[in-house]
Amino acid sequence: MNLSRVLLFILCIATAQAQSLINLIPQPVSVQPQPGVFTLTRATTIHYNQADAKEVADMLSQRLNTPTGFGLAAKPGKTGKIQLNLSETPNAQLGQEGYMLDASSKGVVITANRPAGLFYGMQTLTQLLPKEIEGKVVAAKTWSVPAVKITDYPRFGWRGIMFDVSRHFFTKVEVKQYIDQLAKLKYNTFHWHLTDDNGWRIEIKSLPKLTSVGAWRVARAGHYGDRAEPKPGEPTPYGGFYTQDDIREVIAYAQARNVTIVPEIDVPGHSMAALAAYPELSCTKAIVSVNPGTAFSDWYGNGTFKMKVENTLNPSDEKVYEFLDKVFTEVAALFPNPYIHVGGDECYKGYWANDPGCQALMKQLNIRHVEDLQGYFMNRVEKILTAKGKKLLGWDEILEGGISPTATVMSWRGIKGGIEAAKEGHNVVMTPTTFAYLDYNQGDPTVDPPIYAFLRARTSYGYEPVPDGVDAKYILGGQGNLWTEQIPTLRYAEYMTYPRAWALSEVYWSPKEAKNWPNFVQRMETHFERADMAQVNYSRAIYDAIVKTSMKDGKLRLELEGEIPGLDIYYTIDDTMPDQFSTRYSQPVDLPDGPINLRVITYRAGKPIGHLITLSRDALQKRIGRF
């Protein structure tokens, strides 16, 4: 009797330890921990029941072999210790991307209707294995999977990340690495921002100057907006582009990971790289350069702006539509997905207003406002795309001037455009700056390089893509956007992407009711360790104090908070370095007058964990109402 109790006690401990290893992102629909574990060995077999499952099974064996060194090979069959099954009779609950995973001491069975579901089940299985599974070298480890039953399927069909390769060029190898990490998080859409003012990145064989000229710019360092103008005759060594063979290679790589690539050709604005190659397509016909990050526009703080240099195609020139037909003919032939993103954002119309051709077109169309020319332009573009079997997708500015009912809208300027589009019957992808812009500062600007806007991981996690009063059937899903004005390397792209893309993956995949920030933080921290093993970069800004100030009865008031639970915040204002014996923050503090310096640091469980933040009184004054 005593022996049986001991054995039961040991089993309970082992089961509890196994359950503590279930830290999945995104959170599945249903997770039911079971007693026991399954241990992967050299003798483990991987089988698949149908030929369509072979590619996923092969990918799984490759994924397991690198860190384990086991040399496992996937084979057809139905008795594998790891068994991948495509259902003979589809399970309606799972849909196209869902799966069931049943892990016990006997083995692991993943079942799905489609290979995409098996692929996502594979991602969950690898997250159940020890963190060393993410490593690039063989590790001496017990490769155990906690026993668990999981049923899982996505909330939204569109789960995307936009990657801007115009401001900074990233090689095809880097793009594939980035896609690979997104696929592990069950993202299924890669929005590839290929053209802008700062570089044209896709080969168009019928228009060779787009890449021989438009893909290259002068070398400049420093912050975007503060860089010097190109000099006459200055070399243009910085840039690059993808050949059509490169594009096909990346598409095939993404398809194997169930990721659809949506290309963006940004028109009619953001076209300076195209105009550098073909200046005759503008209103003024002026010679322009591919922009290296100069201050080529004035913004007025209310969403309006003025361009100092023309970067807009001429909507009244038929040669523009002949140009676009050539571009989209080649783009449509390369990309198998139904959508082509045509931009449509931040189109300055001042040059149109002063152009005789545009004025004549407005008279011909009987329109009074120059803004309505964008609607005319977009309808022309949509006809070009429709003729090639593609659907038009654009930023929410395409609503200005009117669009056809079949156009799809990406709502980025908050959620207003998405609400308006959905109520008009358009399909919508929600990607508002307020929740989804991954280029925004995620920590204190005294720690991270300063950027003009802020977005905490906690805020991203709190996003709800279906606005109140909107029919959910029009909301395809959402995505995060990574613009790269201040992102020169893949390593830094990762830093800005994670952990916020982990948070958004759960917003777009997991049930709305399952969201729980403290629970997510626990899982996120285990993924920090996994990212370390994978040599993927990420931000630790969640451990830093959030420093806010306000004025109260003529006094400068200090408010401190932590982004995650369990942080102790210590501060000093006497020019000493804070530690756990300094003043612990518990409530708002009225700061004394005079030239003080605030120093703040966070601790957890008696050990420092966040960055030291130091702010002068002047800096604190400038923060009033901002953070």
User: 171-192, pLDDT tens digit by residue?
Assistant: 999 999 999 999 999 999 999 9
Tokens of 88: 């003979």
Low-confidence ranges of the chain (pLDDT < 70): 1-20
Pairing of β 143-152 and β 107-112: unpaired
Count Cβ atoms within 10 A of the Cβ of residue 114 and give its class: 0-12 exposed, 13-18 middle, 19 or more buried.
buried
User: Could you give phi then psi for residue 292, rounded to 5 degrees?
Assistant: -90, 5
pLDDT score at 405 = 86
pLDDT score at 19 = 53
Secondary structure class of 301 (helix, strand, coil) = coil
pLDDT score at 323 = 98
Tens-digit pLDDT profile for residues 542-556: 999 999 999 999 999
Pairing of β 158-164 and β 475-482: parallel
Residue 400 annotated among the catalytic residues of the structure: no
For the chain, give the longest Cα–Cα distance.
97
Tokens of 469: 């009063």
Secondary structure class of 542 (helix, strand, coil) = helix
- What is the distance between the alpha carbons of residues 289 and 332, in angstroms, rounded to a whole number? 27
> Which element (helix H / strand E) includes 429?
strand 428-430
Within 10 angstroms of residue 105's Cβ, the number of other Cβ atoms is 12
Contact between residue 47 and residue 546 where contact means Cβ atoms under 8 Å apart = no
- What is the distance between the alpha carbons of residues 539 and 447, in angstroms, rounded to a whole number? 11
- What is the distance between the alpha carbons of residues 529 and 537, in angstroms, rounded to a whole number? 11
CA dist 220 → 292, 321, 353 (Å): 7, 33, 33
Nearest in space to 565 (alpha carbons), one of 624, 524, 626 = 524
- What is the distance between the alpha carbons of residues 198 and 239, in angstroms, rounded to a whole number? 9
Contact between residue 343 and residue 267 where contact means Cβ atoms under 8 Å apart = yes
Q: What is the dihedral sign for C-alpha 456, 303, 197, 407?
A: positive
Within 10 angstroms of residue 551's Cβ, the number of other Cβ atoms is 11
Tens-digit pLDDT profile for residues 80-113: 999 999 999 999 999 999 999 999 999 999 999 9
Secondary structure class of 66 (helix, strand, coil) = helix
Within 10 angstroms of residue 17's Cβ, the number of other Cβ atoms is 12
| DSSP assigned state of 293 | S
- What is the distance between the alpha carbons of residues 153 and 362, in angstroms, rounded to a whole number? 50
- Show the domains of the chain with their CATH numbers: 2-152 (3.30.379.10), 158-541 (3.20.20.80), 544-622 (2.60.40)
User: Could you give phi then psi for residue 418, rounded to 5 degrees?
Assistant: -65, -40
- What is the distance between the alpha carbons of residues 389 and 332, in angstroms, rounded to a whole number? 8
Tokens of 5: 């109790």
pLDDT score at 625 = 83
- What is the distance between the alpha carbons of residues 262 and 251, in angstroms, rounded to a whole number? 10
- What is the distance between the alpha carbons of residues 497 and 512, in angstroms, rounded to a whole number? 22
Tokens of 587: 């409530």
Tens-digit pLDDT profile for residues 366-405: 998 999 999 999 999 999 999 999 999 999 999 887 788 8
Please pick, among 132, 203, 310, 346, the residue that the annotation labels catalytic.
346
Q: Which residues pair with 429 in a beta bridge?
A: 410, 477
- What is the distance between the alpha carbons of residues 532 and 116, in angstroms, rounded to a whole number? 27
pLDDT score at 20 = 65
Tokens of 109: 């069975």
> Which element (helix H / strand E) includes 76?
strand 74-76
